Amino acid sequence: MIRIAVLGGDGIGPEVVAASLPALRRACEKSGLDVEFPEALVGGAAFDATGHPLPPATLKLCDASQAIFFGAVGGPKYDKIPDPNLRPERGSLLPLRKRYELFANLRPARVYPGLEGQSHLKPEYLKGLDLLVIRELTGGAYFGRKELKADRAFDAIEYKASEIERLMHFAFRAAMGRGRRLTLVHKANVLLTSVLWKKVAEKVSRKYPRVKMDDCYVDAFAMYLVRRPASFDVVATENMMGDILTDEAAEVTGSIGLLPSASLGTRGNRLGSFGLYEPCHGSAPDIAGKGLANPLATLLSAALLLRYSLGREKAARALEDAVARTLADGFRTRDLASPAAKGGKGTRAGRLVSTRQMGEAVLERLEKIRFS
Ligand code: IPM
Ligand code: MG
């Protein structure tokens, strides 16, 4: 029996997870896997119930699982918790990433047919956009030494060459399986950590002569990402730059509600890597509980789970296809429907559906795809 820990968390987290689980379960069944999906508390919900955002029972479940299917954590209510280490983000998500050394965070961004009018960019700039950002996830400012005093504060950015090296190997291997182009994003004209990133990346690149690597300052990259997003293939970068750029990449493709993620490390078994799978959008407290959230980023994260933690490539593709077909058939959660409804050029207004209905539409299409 394979175990997947389900941590819905806060805000829209539980809704998008609940809307996605039936399709993930079905994909597992159809690929002959015997999987159980026990749930546990995390984030603010766990803090409210137990006084800690990552209680021992949750850790125990995650330790005994092959992957974590994660919603989102945080919300304004919890920003007032005096100890920052007990706040949902710092107290649960970051420790989970660190505990399992989930150093490689994959964030694939593409444009789905029918959603070209959704982006704020003109459709001609989106043609061929298929980007994979690989963000380093367990180092940099997020985990460096920190101090907060009344009149000063600092967050140190620190990286070991070995941390950069493993991320770059991961990125080069990913590039080998795609368009064989890799862009390293850094700030080596100012930051010494970036100087090290560049040096290590150049060394690793010699082992992958078939991949064409180039590099780019982060400020310029932010500009190129809106000017010519389709010119990039795999992008590798450090933790905080990756955080910022992937929100930008999501917006370029149309909605942050479409951007999935996989966080992978070195742990694994015969099926695949241990991983944490979560949508990139966060807990969106303003729309929580209203059925307005888009579950597609979570469903696409479930596809990544099938691919990387369960070794089921066909099932992963089937789920991705089911999402694409659902969009092609005009199903739209509010984030996708409004600009079109306002008359966005070249886009059908589509059928406005709730979080749950979107999940059901994907499941229905998944049933029709043969992949077992
Ligand atoms: C993300 C999120 C997190 C991050 C937050 C919730 C801590 O923005 O996964 O991109 O900054 O890594
Ligand atoms: Mg982010």
Closest-CA residue, ligand 1 atom 9, reads 280
Q: Which residues contact 222 (CB under 8 A, 6 or more apart)?
A: 244, 245, 248
Distance 222 CA to ligand 2 centre (A): 15
Average pLDDT over residues 247-273: 92
The number of the ligand nearest the C-alpha atom of 137 reads 1
Average pLDDT over residues 199-224: 98
Site to probe by mutation for ligand 1, drawn from 54, 89, 241, 251 as the one with most ligand atoms within 8 Å of Cβ, is 89
Average pLDDT over residues 288-311: 97
Verify that 259 and 346 share a domain, yes or no.
yes
Closest-CA residue, ligand 1 atom 12, reads 243
CATH label of the domain that carries residue 49: 3.40.718.10
Instruction: Count other Cβ atoms within 10 Å, centred on residue 214.
Output: 10
Is the beta carbon of 280 within 6 A of some atom in ligand 1? yes
User: What per-residue confidence (pLDDT) applies to 33?
Assistant: 96
User: What per-residue confidence (pLDDT) applies to 256?
Assistant: 87
Verify that 329 and 349 share a domain, yes or no.
yes
Q: Residue-wise over 106-137: b if at least 16 C-beta within 10 A, else e?
A: bbbbbbbebbbbbbebeeebbeebebbbbbbb
Percent of the chain predicted with pLDDT > 90: 90
Q: Residue-wise over 8-32: b if at least 16 C-beta within 10 A, else e?
A: bbbbbbbbbbbbbbebbbbbbebbe
Residue 8 pLDDT > 50: yes
Residue 190 pLDDT > 70: yes
Verify that 225 and 307 share a domain, yes or no.
no
Taking Cα atoms as reference points, which of 110, 172, 170 lies closest to residue 137? 170
113 in any annotated domain: no
User: What per-residue confidence (pLDDT) applies to 363?
Assistant: 98
Taking Cα atoms as reference points, which of 5, 99, 92 lies closest to residue 43? 92
Residue 342 pLDDT > 50: no
299 in any annotated domain: yes
Phi-psi region of 282 (alpha: psi -120 to 50; beta: other; left: phi over 0): left
349 in any annotated domain: yes
Residue 143 pLDDT > 60: yes
Phi-psi region of 114 (alpha: psi -120 to 50; beta: other; left: phi over 0): left
Verify that 330 and 248 share a domain, yes or no.
no
Per-residue confidence band for 338, with pLDDT thresholds at 50, 70 and 90: low
Residue 139 pLDDT > 60: yes
Verify that 213 and 299 share a domain, yes or no.
no
Print the domain residue range for 89. 1-108+254-372
Q: Distances from the Cα of 121 to the Cαs of 88, 126, 132, 224, in angstroms?
A: 34, 7, 19, 12
Per-residue confidence band for 232, with pLDDT thresholds at 50, 70 and 90: very high
Q: Are 58 and 42 in contact (CB under 8 A)?
A: yes
User: What per-residue confidence (pLDDT) applies to 230?
Assistant: 96
Verify that 7 and 86 share a domain, yes or no.
yes
Match 């990433």 to its residue by tokens. 97
Verify that 248 and 265 share a domain, yes or no.
no
Out of 253, 272, 292, a domain closes at 253
Partners of residue 263 on adjacent β-strands: 105, 276
What is the pairing mode between strands 153-155 and 146-148? Answer: antiparallel
187 in any annotated domain: yes
Q: Could you give the CA distance from residue 173 to residue 150 in angstroms, rounded to a whole number?
A: 46
- The winner for highest mean pLDDT among 118-122, 248-252, 311-315, 349-353 is 311-315
Is the beta carbon of 282 within 6 A of some atom in ligand 1? yes
Verify that 262 and 301 share a domain, yes or no.
yes
347 in any annotated domain: yes
308 in any annotated domain: yes
Verify that 261 and 172 share a domain, yes or no.
no
**How long a stretch of residues is the chain?**
372
Q: Catalytic residues, which ones? A: 142, 187, 219, 243, 247
User: What per-residue confidence (pLDDT) applies to 341?
Assistant: 47
Residue 316 pLDDT > 80: yes
Angle between the 218-227 and 239-253 helix axes, to the nearest 10 degrees?
10
Out of 219, 253, 287, a domain closes at 253
- pLDDT, averaged across the chain: 95
Q: Which residues contact 142 (CB under 8 A, 6 or more apart)?
A: 94, 239, 240
Residue that wins the pLDDT comparison between 311 and 350: 311
User: What per-residue confidence (pLDDT) applies to 371?
Assistant: 87
115 in any annotated domain: no
The number of the ligand nearest the C-alpha atom of 263 reads 1
The number of the ligand nearest the C-alpha atom of 91 reads 1
Count of structural domains, the chain: 2
Verify that 330 and 218 share a domain, yes or no.
no
Out of 237, 253, 269, a domain closes at 253
Name the phi and psi angles at 87, rounded to 5.
-75, 150
Verify that 275 and 360 share a domain, yes or no.
yes
Match 């689980």 to its residue by tokens. 21
Verify that 156 and 57 share a domain, yes or no.
no
User: What per-residue confidence (pLDDT) applies to 347?
Assistant: 46
43 in any annotated domain: yes
Whole-structure pTM value: 0.95
User: What per-residue confidence (pLDDT) applies to 349?
Assistant: 56
Taking Cα atoms as reference points, which of 42, 49, 46 lies closest to residue 8? 42
Average pLDDT over residues 66-82: 96
